Amino acid sequence: MKEKILIVDDETDIIKMLDYNLKKEGFRTTQAHDGEKAVALAKKENPNLIVLDLMLPGIDGLEVCKMLKKEPKTSGVPIIMLTAKTQEIDKIVGLELGADDYVSKPFSPRELIARIKAVLRRVKEKDKPPETLKIGDLVLDFSKITVTVKNKPVELTSKEFELLKTLIQAKGRVLSRGSLLDTVWGFDHSQEIETRTVDVHIRTLRKKLKNESRHLVTVKNYGYRFENEH
């Protein structure tokens, strides 16, 4: 599934230029022209990365970065800041707030896309799961695609396994039904796809995992998260 980039900038020409070049490289995009919309879209769209301009109307980029890193749903989303060359102190503050990289304006699309790919590679390596993962009595073997509870095998379908794996890899973040449809089934949640599919698979997973299903937490009116209890 193509990775989604949230572009946040109040300059229409920059958004159009980035939108064109990112799509050309195979990314999906969504856009925000101000800080308030950026925060709302980041929570709703679950982007893989955010390109964030610091000079925004209303809530500025530094405050947006701070808000997103404090919010459980978005704290793990990497951020690349766009800064003017004179904003040296803002670059430092932004990195201290949790931004992953910065690019100074003016910049070439090729440079920014190279930075985006580098950050996404680092995130994937960091989030790469071990071959086996043990949580309570629940053990997942990612290489063999098997699950056991109290050393007894649990027969999961491929979609059930991918659903469980996706929730675990979110590391406690809440994933919307639309995001799960997108990642596990390959459906773009902007399409009219029945999200009941996710609920049905979660119910089946709970039955099969029995007592270990306590890790699967429903977040009312939004989606699900995996609560990693040790």
> Strand 79-84 to strand 49-53: parallel, antiparallel, or no bridges (unpaired)?
parallel
| DSSP per residue, 96-120 | HHT--EEEEES--HHHHHHHHHHHH
pLDDT at 160: 93
| DSSP per residue, 68-90 | HHHSTTTTTS-EEEEEETT-HHH
**Rounded distance between C-alpha atoms, residue 89 and residue 135, angstroms:** 42
Entry pTM:
0.58
Question: Greater confidence, 218 or 182?
Answer: 218
**Tens digit of pLDDT for each residue in 119-164?**
998 888 776 656 888 888 899 998 888 999 999 999 999 899 999 9
**Boundaries of every domain in the chain:** 4-127, 132-226
Quickly state the pLDDT bin for 229 (edges 50, 70, 90).
Answer: low
Task: Name the residue among 228, 204, 213 with its Cα closest to residue 156.
Answer: 204
Report the CATH number of the 4-127 domain. 3.40.50.2300
Question: Mean pLDDT: which of 60-64, 68-72, 195-199 is highest?
Answer: 60-64
Sheet strand arrangement including 175-176: 175-176, 223-226, 216-219
Quickly state the pLDDT bin for 191 (edges 50, 70, 90).
Answer: very low
Q: Indicate the CATH number of 132-226 among 3.30.70.3450, 1.10.10.10, 1.10.260.40, 3.40.50.280.
A: 1.10.10.10
Task: Name the residue among 163, 199, 159 with its Cα closest to residue 180.
Answer: 163
Angle subtended at Cα 46 by Cα 14 and Cα 117, rounded to the nearest 5 degrees: 55
The answer to whether 229 and 172 have CB atoms below 8 angstroms apart is no
Task: Name the residue among 59, 35, 32 with its Cα closest to residue 47.
Answer: 32
**Rounded distance between C-alpha atoms, residue 213 and residue 177, angstroms:** 18
**Rounded distance between C-alpha atoms, residue 181 and residue 176, angstroms:** 9
Lowest mean pLDDT among 43-57, 103-117, 120-134: 120-134
A 10 A CB-CB count for 110 gives 10
Lowest mean pLDDT among 103-107, 184-188, 195-199: 184-188
Overall average pLDDT of the 200-217 stretch = 92
**Rounded distance between C-alpha atoms, residue 30 and residue 208, angstroms:** 37
**Tens digit of pLDDT for each residue in 3-42?**
999 999 999 999 999 999 999 999 999 999 999 999 999 9
SS3 category, 52: strand
